[in-house]
């Protein structure tokens, strides 16, 4: 298990992969409401729940704002147990496989319960090493029927104009039956896109079999949202994936796709317009995905600011050493007397003036003061 590549996935509250009960109609006191930041909130005395159904994982954690006014229960596959609502996080673990995770909450006061999302730990490959290949929606490896591909600023849809997208491009449609198709050779893949009030249902097929139908309708626009994920695929096979918009007049928007596949030790990710076939990897590679408090497009590691500071300090140290050597040479040239450290701290030694030798031959006073004679 330790050599199995893992991924920790952030599924935001707006993701269509989550199911809410009661439904998210936005009616206060009777259902979940979506807040401006994309999180979900419930209020009132009803019993509320969230489910992540039929998902491959080993660990799952529900993230929420701590609250003393709600009873929380979490569990897997139909079994739930009490958790603290004040902790802000409730997790459960299981053997790797397909599970349904559930959170239930019940109000004990008037304060609302705010849910941010789910963190899921899963395997992206059975063994060996893994790599990521990110396909932007503008990639020629994606075939569209009935879609428009453009930059956000050139779109005539206000929700897209104000959005932030990977590589500044997005492909969208409002035609029922419009599709986007691509090939992924690997054991897992992610699909990222947009949700909002004008968005509808979409269907995902993997190798000509329906994997699921999901609803991208939310009360506020969200971007970089996980629309679909699956793992435990045959990594030696090139899989055919199709995404189809289900509702005429409602939008579906594709931002980018991440494929995870087998590779050799080396780089852990690649991106661009090329083939999604995996060519390089590192053990424990994870996919590129949005996570709480971090950029979804960062693929590198390390601290560039620390490297800059280290370089500056190294330069200053070299200059100081050169200055010390120069002071030592000056000190030696001036005679090298006393302690060099004292000379270094106290400044340059000042060369002593030689003492004037006293006149050993004393002249008589008469010589010093010659009398004046009258002429």
93 & 210 share domain? no
Q: What is the pLDDT of residue 268?
A: 44
The number of beta carbons lying within 10 Å of the beta carbon of residue 211 is: 15
Task: Give the closest residue to 141 by CA, choosing from 175, 203, 189, 77.
Answer: 189
DSSP 152: G
156 & 214 share domain? yes
pLDDT means per 10 residues, the chain with 375 residues, are 76 94 60 86 79 92 84 88 80 90 81 88 82 92 95 90 92 96 93 95 96 94 95 90 96 95 54 34 34 33 41 64 70 63 55 51 42 43
138 & 214 share domain? yes
Q: What is the pLDDT of residue 30?
A: 60
Q: What is the pLDDT of residue 5?
A: 79
172 & 294 share domain? yes
105 & 176 share domain? no
Q: What is the pLDDT of residue 345?
A: 61
H helix runs in the chain, sequence order: 158-161, 304-333, 340-346, 365-368
Flag whether 99 is in a domain: yes
Q: What is the pLDDT of residue 264?
A: 52
The number of beta carbons lying within 10 Å of the beta carbon of residue 40 is: 26
Q: Are 235 and 187 in contact (CB under 8 A)?
A: yes
106 & 53 share domain? yes
* DSSP helix/strand/coil, 170: strand
Within 13 Å and on the Cβ side, how many CA atoms surround 218? 31
129 & 107 share domain? no
Q: Are 187 and 277 in contact (CB under 8 A)?
A: no
Q: How far is the C-alpha of 230 from the C-alpha of 122, rounded, in Å?
A: 10
CA distance to 25, 162, 234, 299, 319, per residue, from 197 (Å): 11, 14, 36, 31, 62
Q: How far is the C-alpha of 251 from the C-alpha of 213, rounded, in Å?
A: 15
Q: How far is the C-alpha of 300 from the C-alpha of 304, rounded, in Å?
A: 10
Flag whether 332 is in a domain: no
Q: Are 222 and 196 in contact (CB under 8 A)?
A: yes
62 & 133 share domain? no
The domain total for the chain is 2
Question: Last residue of a domain, which of 285, 300, 315?
Answer: 300
Q: Which two tokens stand for residue 129?
A: 């090493």
Residue 373 neighbours by CB under 8 Å, 6+ apart = none
CA distance to 306, 314, 327, per residue, from 320 (Å): 21, 10, 11
Flag whether 8 is in a domain: yes
Q: Which two tokens stand for residue 45?
A: 């005395």
Question: Last residue of a domain, which of 281, 300, 319?
Answer: 300
Q: What is the pLDDT of residue 148?
A: 94
Flag whether 350 is in a domain: no
Flag whether 59 is in a domain: yes
Q: What is the pLDDT of residue 346?
A: 56
Q: Are 172 and 159 in contact (CB under 8 A)?
A: no
DSSP 338: S
Q: What is the pLDDT of residue 83?
A: 79
Q: How far is the C-alpha of 206 from the C-alpha of 185, rounded, in Å?
A: 12
Is residue 103 within a helix (H) or strand (E), and if so which, with residue range?
A: strand 89-107
99 & 186 share domain? no
Q: What is the pLDDT of residue 23?
A: 57
Cross-strand pairs, 102:
51, 75
Flag whether 43 is in a domain: yes
Question: Last residue of a domain, which of 86, 101, 123?
Answer: 123
175 & 96 share domain? no
- Cis check: omega of the bond before 9, within 30 degrees of 0: no
Structural domain including 224 reads 125-300
12 & 97 share domain? yes
CATH code where residue 59 lies: 2.60.120.260
Flag whether 311 is in a domain: no
Flag whether 187 is in a domain: yes
Tracing tokens 């506020």 back to the chain, one arrives at 220
Q: What is the pLDDT of residue 333?
A: 67
Task: Give the closest residue to 123 by CA, choosing from 56, 186, 190, 76.
Answer: 56
Q: What is the pLDDT of residue 221?
A: 93
272 & 157 share domain? yes
């Amino acid at each position: 298990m330790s050599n199995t590549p893992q991924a920790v996935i952030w599924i935001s509250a707006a993701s269509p992969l989550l199911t809410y009960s009661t439904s998210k109609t936005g009616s206060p006191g009777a259902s979940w409401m979506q807040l401006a930041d994309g999180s979900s909130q419930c209020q009132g005395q009803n019993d509320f729940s969230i489910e992540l159904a039929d998902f491959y994982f080993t660990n799952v954690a529900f993230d929420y704002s701590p609250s003393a006014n709600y009873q929380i229960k979490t569990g897997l596959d139909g079994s739930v147990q009490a958790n603290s609502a004040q902790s802000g996080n409730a997790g459960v673990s299981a053997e790797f496989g397909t599970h349904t995770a559930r959170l239930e909450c019940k109000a004990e006061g008037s304060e609302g319960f705010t849910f941010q999302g789910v963190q899921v730990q899963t395997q992206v490959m059975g063994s060996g090493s893994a790599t990521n290949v990110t396909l932007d929606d503008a990639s020629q490896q994606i075939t569209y029927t009935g879609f428009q591909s453009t930059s956000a600023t050139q779109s005539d849809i206000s929700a897209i104009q104000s959005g932030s997208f990977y590589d500044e491009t997005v492909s969208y449609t409002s035609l029922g039956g419009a599709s986007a198709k691509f090939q992924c050779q690997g054991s897992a893949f992610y699909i990222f896109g947009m949700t909002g009030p004008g968005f509808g249902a979409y269907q995902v097929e993997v190798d000509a079999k329906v994997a699921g139908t999901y609803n991208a309708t939310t009360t506020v626009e969200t971007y970089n949202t996980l629309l679909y994920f699956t793992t435990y695929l045959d990594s030696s096979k090139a899989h055919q994936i199709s995404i189809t918009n289900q509702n005429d007049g409602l939008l579906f928007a594709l931002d980018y796709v991440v494929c995870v596949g087998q590779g050799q030790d080396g780089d852990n990710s690649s991106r661009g317009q090329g083939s999604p076939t995996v060519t390089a990897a590192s053990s424990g590679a994870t996919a590129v995905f949005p996570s709480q408090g971090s950029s979804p497009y960062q693929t590198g590691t390390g601290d560039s600011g620390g490297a800059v500071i280290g370089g500056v300090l190294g330069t200053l140290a070299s200059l100081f050493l050169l200055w010390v050597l120069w002071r030592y040479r000056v000190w030696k040239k001036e005679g090298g007397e006393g302690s060099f450290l004292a000379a270094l701290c106290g400044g340059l030694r000042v060369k002593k003036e030689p003492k004037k030798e006293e006149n050993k031959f004393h002249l008589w006073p008469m010589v010093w003061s010659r009398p004046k004679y009258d002429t």
